[in-house]
Every structure is written in C-alpha cells, then in structure tokens.
Structure 1
Amino acid sequence: MKLKITWLTLFLMVATQSYGQYGDGRYTFVFLNTNPDRAELPKEQVDSLQAGHLANINRLVKEKKMIAAGPFYTGGGIFLFDTNMADTEAVLSSDPAISAGRFKLEVYPFDLMEGELCTLWHKDEADVEMTTYYFVRFEPNKDNENIDGVKTNRFTENLLKELKGKYKDKAELVGAINLNTNEGQIIIYKSGQEGGIEELFANHELVKKGLMTYYHRQIYFPKGIFCED
C-alpha cells in the first residue's frame, strides 16, 4: 500500500515521563473510526477536508500538543496527545474532517504499561522513518454484567509476559497502553512474519470468557515513538 509522504508531517514526539500507572492518565488516545454513515461528497470537497485535516494536525504538532498520528491500512487511524482529555477534546473540534462527520471518535486518557515515549522533535521531517507495526486492541464487552468488577489490565499484563517470553522469536513488543477507566488495552508489536501469534491474543483469559473482544490490524507509524530501535 503506497502512502503519501505527507503522513510524515503528522508525527511529533515530546519528551515524556509517566505520572504513575493506570491512573487518570497523563496522555490522551483518540481512535478516528471511519464513519460508515458519512455523507457522500464530491471529490473536490473530500480533498479539501483532507487537506484541512492534515493542516490542523500540523498545527497541533507545532504547538506540541500532539505526540503522533498514523493511519490503519484498513481505514481510520489514531492520534496520541500529550494533553489531558478535556484539552484534547477542545482541539479536536478544530479539525474540519472531524467536524464534517468523516470520523466517529473514541477519546480516552491513557498510561503506558510497557515501553516509554521518546521525542523525535529534534529530527527533520525527512529523517523520520515510517514503518508498519501490528496493532492489537482489547476492548471490554460492556454487555456483560460482570465486566465492571474486573480490572482488565491485570489479565493483559499476563499476556504481555507470554509475548516477551514464549513468543519473543515471533514478535517484538514495541509498546503497550492501558486505556483508563477500564476501557481496555492496546499492544503494538513488530514482526518479520505473517501470522503465528494470533493464538496468543485469542487465548487472552478474558476473551475466552467473553468479557473482552479484540481486533488485530496493521498501522503505519513513525519508528522510535516508543523508544524502540
């Protein structure tokens, strides 16, 4: 899949340190889910909204509010912010594509479970290396009445131990995120092979019990955001 070089303008990393684990969240994670009910618009209008979308991202990067952004290969994408939830929601409304209903947003405070965030601010745009990572999201099944009594991150921590142990030859953990207020976890890893690890995610204890669901995608992201080599 060919992606335009302009995606490189989306990414900035600011120096960070966690303020404690699994609390209210220093950072904010935004899912930009493609809206299936978005209006059918002329190509010229869609292109204009996309240009405004990118320009707004560039502004937020320059203001050191946005940490990074990247698209899923299947559509939609994510934002990482170094602002609290209220401040993040305030700036999201300035995005013309979001205001036009092109995306359905999910906005969550988060903390790091594994890895750390490094800054790429010192790099020129052309020197930011883009790469493909695997992205796994575990999400609580809120239709299950038992989910409120479960701290889901504890079970995902057990899975991370397996990923770094039994599966270390198949995948390299890049980072893991806990979406606060029990909204689930995200695992980002890299691998030089297709498949061979899906059983690990399917065997998550809470997935097997029906308390969580998960999906597994590829994402195009700047290398080094989690201080990885």
Structure 2
Amino acid sequence: MKLLSLLVLVIVWCAGVTAQTDNPNYDKALADSLGADEYGMKSYIFVILKTGTIQIDDKQKVGELFRGHMDNINRLVKMKKLIVAGPFGKNDHSYRGLFVFDSKSKEEVITLLQTDPAIKEKLLEAELFDWYGSAALPTYLKVSDRVSKTHP
C-alpha cells in the first residue's frame, strides 16, 4: 500500500513538473519594464477602423483629413500609446485599418481617437476590443523605424 501511495505521489509530481517549465531565457527586468505577466503577455486595446457614417465629396478636404490622420498616428506612436497601425486591403466588411493601443483603458483610447481628424469628422469609425497579446509587442517599434525608407 505504501508503494502504491508513493507511486501515485511520484506520478502526480511528474505531471505537475511537465505541465509548465521555466524559460531559461527569461529576463525579469525586461518583463517588468514591459508590464508582462508570468506568460509574457499583457492587455491592450485593439481597434478596428471602419468606413464612417459621413461621406465627403471634396477630395481636397478628404486629403487634409487623411494627412491629419497620418500625422496623428505618428504623434501617438511618439507618445508610445499607439504600437501597431495599418490599413486593410479591400474587403466586404468596410474595414479600413487597425490600431493596437498600449492602454488598458478604453476611455483613454476613446479620448486619443478623438484627436484623429478623420475619426472626429466621422470619415472613419472605430470599434474597440480588449486584447491580450505579447508584452514584447511595443519593442518592434524600435526596429520599425529602421526599416522604413520613407515616412507616410
């Protein structure tokens, strides 16, 4: 009976050991600086930009709004609030692009989105989602600037 109990204890212990393993590359200081949890993840706000409710026929006005949109993207990146941005190709959903904000607060992101002239004028509309992703995501921005030959 003691042997059986010992065998069960060893099996349970082995199962626990193999279920999770420590990462030998773990850098606590880096993880802490990025706000990572034990899995190297954190919360973000994911935004899908869609065609807005207003249609503007004045091409010059549309151009000005989108120039302001791009300038605002660059400003939010410099603030380290916006960490991913990019357009979608043509699709059946009226999706125009996406943003990933380094924020846990939808209220903060809503305020930041209102600084975008294309959103403020309702040329674009934003849908916000809580998203859980790699805490290392913001680190790609350092490399991103080095691979862009021209800035939009």
More strand by share: 1
Residue number among 42, 45, 48 corresponding to 1:28 in the alignment: 45
1:101 positional shift: 0.5
* Unaligned residue ranges in structure 2 (runs of 5+): 1-32
Aligned length: 110
**Residue equivalent to 1:111:** 132
* Unaligned residue ranges in structure 1 (runs of 5+): 1-14, 130-229
List structure 1 runs of 4+ shifted beyond 6 angstroms.
none
Residue number among 130, 138, 141 corresponding to 1:121 in the alignment: 141
1:82-161 → structure 2 map (5 Å cutoff): 82-84=102-104, 85-112=106-133, 117=137, 119-123=139-143, 125-128=145-148
1:19 and 1:106, CA in 2 relative to 1: closer, same or farther beyond 3 A? farther
Q: Is the Cα–Cα contact under 8 Å of residues 36 and 135 in structure 2 kept in the other structure?
A: no
- What is the root-mean-square deviation in Å for CA atoms of aligned residues? 2.7
**Residue equivalent to 2:60:** 44
Higher CA-based Rg: 2
What is the TM-score when the length of structure 2 is the normalising length?
0.62
Q: Highest relative contact order (Cα 8 Å, sep 6+), 1 or 2?
A: 2
1:19 and 1:67, CA in 2 relative to 1: closer, same or farther beyond 3 A? same
1:102 positional shift: 1.0
1:82 positional shift: 0.4
What is the TM-score when the length of structure 1 is the normalising length?
0.42
Q: Is the Cα–Cα contact under 8 Å of residues 83 and 141 in structure 2 kept in the other structure?
A: no
More helix by share: 2
Distance 2:111 2:50 in 1: 19
Q: Is the Cα–Cα contact under 8 Å of residues 56 and 62 in structure 2 kept in the other structure?
A: no
1:116 positional shift: 5.5
Percent of paired sites with the same residue: 33
1:60 counterpart letter in structure 2: L
1:97 counterpart letter in structure 2: A
Distance 1:79 1:119 in 2: 16
1:88 positional shift: 1.0
1:124 positional shift: 6.2
1:38 positional shift: 2.0
**Residue equivalent to 2:101:** 81
